[in-house]
C-alpha cells in the first residue's frame, strides 16, 4: 500500500500551509455542508465555484440548478485540482468526501476520480476513498461494437470514465454487471472477433463470484484495449490472432508452435489442425510441408505416407505417384520394389505387373529382362534394336550405365520461382514451399551430354551395336 495521508474526520482549524478541499456548486453558493464550513472558517468566496479561495479549494459537484454535475465534467475538475496541487508542493491539501453529502454521489463513484492523487505526498484523502483505491478490483469486459451488452437480459450501454451502478442484491446472471478477472475467460461468453470491443474495468462495488466470472454493483470502464493488446493478453506467445497459443503468430487457437492458421498444432506454419510437423495444409501430419493428411514424411500431396514427396496415398517409400508402395519412385500401385510403372511388382524397374524379377516388360516373370511371360532364364541384352553379346550385368557395370543413373528428370521448384500457371496447377505449393517439376527426358539427357567430357561421351558411342539415329531418337543428342 502506498504511504497515503488521511484527511482528518473533523476539521476545525488548519495549519499554516494546509488547504481545505470541499465540494461546491456551479453558482459558488456555499450555503451548506463542507462548503459552509469553508466559507465560514477557511476563506471560501461566495460566487466562486472552482479553485483556491483563501485556505480552501472548491471543486464543483452540483450544476447551476443544483442537480448532480456530469461525471466527465466532475472528473475534469478533479484533474485540474490534482495538477494545481502538483505545482504547489509547498501546500498540503486536505480532501474531504466531496460530492458524497448534499450532491448524493457514492464513495464508489467519487474515489476513483482521485486515483492519480493516491500516494501524492501533499494530498490527503478521506479514509473511505483510500479504502476503495487501495483495494481496487480490476478485470475485463467485452461489449458489442456500440458498447452495449445485456446484463440480466436487458440491453445496457456503457461509457468510459463513468461508474455504472445497479441497486438491489447482487446475484450473478440476475442482477449486476458481469466481468472476468482473466481476459481469456471473457471469450467463453462472447465471440472472439474484432467486431466486439474489449475494456479494462474497475469493480468499485459489492461483488459476487461464480466460476470464472464476477458480478458487481458498481463498474467503471477505464479504457478500451486495442485488438493487438487483446491478442497479446490471451496468448502466452506473441503476435497471435487466435487464443490460448503458447507459440507466436498463430491465427488459430491452442497452438504450441508458431504461425499456424489452424488449431492445436505443435509445429509451425500449419494451415490444418493437430500437426506435429511444419507447414502442413492438412491435418494430423507428423512430417513437414504436407498437403494431405496423416503423413509421417515430408512434402506429400497425398495421405497416410510414411515417406517423402509422394503424390499418392499410403506409401512407405519416396516420390511415388501411385498408392501403397513400399519402394521408391513408383508410378503404379502396391510395389515392393523401386521405379515400377506397373502394379504389384516385387522387383525393380518393371513396366508390367506381378513380376518377381527385375526390368521385365511383360507379366509374371521370375527371371530378369524378359519381354514375354513366364520366363525363368536370363535373356541376352538387346541394344540399339539388336541382340548383343552383353548381358544385363555387363551393361550395369559399364560407365554408360553409371552416367544414366546421374540423369534426374525431376526438379524441385520453390514457390518464389513458380509461374502463375504452375501455382494454379499445384495449389499445395503454399504448404510444401514449392512443387516437384517433371522435365522431358531428352532435355535432361542433352543438358547432361553437353556437360560431359569426351571420355564420358565415348562410354556411349563405344556400346555394342551403337547407332546414332537410334541414339538421337531416344536421347535428343545430335551427332556433331
Q: What is the CATH number of the domain that holds 25?
A: 3.40.220.10
Highest mean pLDDT among 140-149, 232-241, 302-311: 140-149
- Whole-number Å distance between alpha carbons of 436 and 227: 40
Q: Is 65 among the domain residues?
A: yes
Alpha-helical regions (H) of 283-428: 392-396, 399-405, 420-425
48 & 114 share domain: yes
350 & 417 share domain: no
Name the nearest CA neighbour of 249 among 225, 222, 267, 274. 267
Cβ burial of 72 (10 Å; 0-12, 13-18, 19+) is exposed
- Of 19-23, 100-104, 214-218, 373-377, the poorest mean pLDDT is in 373-377
Cβ burial of 391 (10 Å; 0-12, 13-18, 19+) is middle
pLDDT of residue 394: 85
* Higher per-residue pLDDT: 121 or 327: 121
Cβ burial of 26 (10 Å; 0-12, 13-18, 19+) is middle
pLDDT of residue 48: 95
155 & 201 share domain: yes
Res 307 pLDDT > 80:
no
pLDDT of residue 376: 66
Res 34 pLDDT > 90:
yes
374 & 469 share domain: no
Q: Extract the C-alpha cell encoding 296.
A: 509421417
420: which residues sit within 8 A by CB, 6+ positions away?
A: none
What domain range is 325 assigned to? 315-379
Q: What is the pLDDT of residues 407-451, one digit of tens each?
A: 877 777 888 899 999 888 877 667 556 777 778 888 888 999 999
- Whole-number Å distance between alpha carbons of 62 and 22: 12
Q: Is 305 among the domain residues?
A: no
Beta strands in 320-431 (DSSP E): 382-383, 386-387, 410-414
45 & 147 share domain: no
Q: Is 299 among the domain residues?
A: no
Domain count, the chain: 4
- Whole-number Å distance between alpha carbons of 139 and 179: 6
Domain endpoint, select from 232, 253, 275: 232
159 & 186 share domain: yes
96 & 60 share domain: yes
* Higher per-residue pLDDT: 45 or 286: 45
334 & 415 share domain: no
Q: Extract the C-alpha cell encoding 14.
A: 488548519
CA distances from 383 to 146, 172, 261, 352, 464 (A): 83, 90, 56, 20, 7
Distance linking the first and last C-alpha atoms of the chain:
95
pLDDT of residue 469: 92
Longest dimension (CA), the chain: 131
121: which residues sit within 8 A by CB, 6+ positions away?
A: 3, 5, 89
Confidence of residue 452 (pLDDT cuts 50, 70, 90): very high
Res 249 pLDDT > 70:
no
433 & 463 share domain: yes
Domain endpoint, select from 134, 158, 193: 134
Adjacency order of strands within the sheet including 56-62: 51-53, 56-62, 18-25, 92-95, 123-124
Q: What's the mean pLDDT when you consider all of the chain?
A: 79
The answer to whether 267 and 277 have CB atoms below 8 angstroms apart is yes
- Residue 160 carries which DSSP code? B
SS3 content of the chain, % helix, strand, coil (to 5): 20, 20, 60
Q: Is 98 among the domain residues?
A: yes
At 259, phi and psi to the nearest 5? 60, 40
104 & 48 share domain: yes
Q: Is 126 among the domain residues?
A: yes
* Higher per-residue pLDDT: 280 or 3: 3
Domain endpoint, select from 204, 232, 260: 232
Q: Extract the C-alpha cell encoding 465.
A: 551395336
Q: Is 195 among the domain residues?
A: yes
pLDDT of residue 282: 59
Q: What is the pLDDT of residues 5-29, one digit of tens each?
A: 999 988 999 999 999 999 999 999 9
254: which residues sit within 8 A by CB, 6+ positions away?
A: 242, 243, 244, 245, 263, 264
33 & 123 share domain: yes
**High-pLDDT (> 70) share of the chain, %:** 67
425: which residues sit within 8 A by CB, 6+ positions away?
A: none
458 & 427 share domain: yes
- Whole-number Å distance between alpha carbons of 135 and 118: 12
Confidence of residue 205 (pLDDT cuts 50, 70, 90): confident
**High-pLDDT (> 90) share of the chain, %:** 37
* Higher per-residue pLDDT: 450 or 240: 450
The answer to whether 33 and 39 have CB atoms below 8 angstroms apart is no
- Residue 455 carries which DSSP code? H
Q: Is 320 among the domain residues?
A: yes
Q: Is 298 among the domain residues?
A: no
Amino acid at each position: 500500500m502506498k504511504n497515503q495521508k488521511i484527511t482528518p474526520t473533523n476539521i476545525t482549524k488548519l495549519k499554516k500551509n494546509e488547504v481545505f478541499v470541499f465540494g461546491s456548486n456551479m453558482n459558488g453558493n456555499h450555503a451548506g455542508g463542507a462548503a459552509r464550513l469553508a466559507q465560514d472558517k477557511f476563506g471560501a468566496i461566495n460566487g466562486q465555484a472552482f479553485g483556491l479561495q483563501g485556505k480552501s479549494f472548491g471543486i464543483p459537484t452540483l450544476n447551476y440548478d443544483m442537480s448532480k454535475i456530469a461525471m466527465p465534467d466532475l472528473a475534469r475538475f478533479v484533474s485540474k485540482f490534482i495538477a494545481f496541487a502538483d505545482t504547489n508542493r509547498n501546500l498540503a491539501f486536505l480532501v474531504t468526501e466531496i460530492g458524497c453529502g448534499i450532491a448524493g454521489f457514492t464513495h464508489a463513484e467519487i474515489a476513483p476520480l482521485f486515483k492519480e492523487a493516491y500516494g501524492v505526498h501533499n494530498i490527503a484523502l478521506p479514509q473511505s476513498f483510500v479504502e476503495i483505491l487501495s483495494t481496487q478490483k480490476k478485470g475485463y469486459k467485452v461489449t458489442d461494437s456500440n458498447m452495449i451488452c445485456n446484463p440480466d437480459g436487458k440491453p445496457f450501454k456503457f461509457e468510459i470514465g463513468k461508474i455504472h451502478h445497479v441497486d438491489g442484491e447482487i446475484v450473478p446472471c440476475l442482477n449486476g454487471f458481469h466481468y472476468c478477472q482473466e481476459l481469456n475467460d471473457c471469450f467463453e461468453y462472447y465471440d472472439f472477433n474484432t467486431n466486439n470491443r474489449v475494456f479494462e474495468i474497475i469493480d468499485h462495488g459489492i461483488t459476487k463470484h461464480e466460476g470464472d466470472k464476477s458480478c458487481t454493483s458498481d463498474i467503471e470502464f477505464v479504457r478500451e484495449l486495442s485488438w493487438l493488446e487483446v491478442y497479446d493478453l490471451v496468448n502466452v506467445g506473441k503476435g497471435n490472432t487466435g487464443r490460448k497459443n503458447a507459440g507466436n503468430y498463430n491465427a488459430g487457437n491452442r497452438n504450441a508452435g508458431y504461425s499456424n492458421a489452424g488449431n492445436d498444432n505443435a509445429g509451425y506454419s500449419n494451415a490444418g489442425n493437430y500437426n506435429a510437423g511444419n507447414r502442413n495444409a492438412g491435418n494430423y501430419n507428423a512430417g513437414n510441408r504436407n498437403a494431405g493428411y496423416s503423413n509421417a514424411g515430408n512434402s506429400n500431396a497425398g495421405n497416410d505416407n510414411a515417406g517423402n514427396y509422394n503424390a499418392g496415398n499410403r506409401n512407405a517409400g519416396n516420390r511415388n505417384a501411385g498408392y501403397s508402395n513400399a519402394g521408391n519412385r513408383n508410378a503404379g500401385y502396391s510395389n515392393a520394389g523401386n521405379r515400377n510403372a506397373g502394379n504389384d511388382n516385387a522387383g525393380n524397374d518393371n513396366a508390367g505387373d506381378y513380376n518377381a524379377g527385375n526390368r521385365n516388360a511383360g507379366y509374371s516373370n521370375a527371371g530378369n529382362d524378359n519381354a514375354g511371360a513366364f520366363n525363368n532364364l536370363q535373356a541376352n541384352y538387346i541394344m540399339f534394336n539388336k541382340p548383343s553379346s552383353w548381358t544385363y550385368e555387363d551393361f550395369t557395370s559399364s560407365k554408360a550405365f553409371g552416367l544414366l543413373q546421374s540423369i534426374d528428370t525431376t526438379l524441385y521448384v520453390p514457390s518464389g520461382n513458380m509461374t502463375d500457371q504452375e501455382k494454379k496447377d499445384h495449389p499445395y505449393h503454399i504448404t510444401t514451399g514449392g512443387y516437384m517439376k517433371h522435365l522431358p527426358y531428352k532435355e535432361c539427357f542433352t543438358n547432361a551430354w553437353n556437360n560431359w567430357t569426351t571420355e564420358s561421351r565415348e562410354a556411349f558411342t563405344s556400346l555394342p551395336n551403337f547407332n546414332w539415329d537410334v541414339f538421337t531418337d531416344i536421347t535428343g543428342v545430335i551427332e556433331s
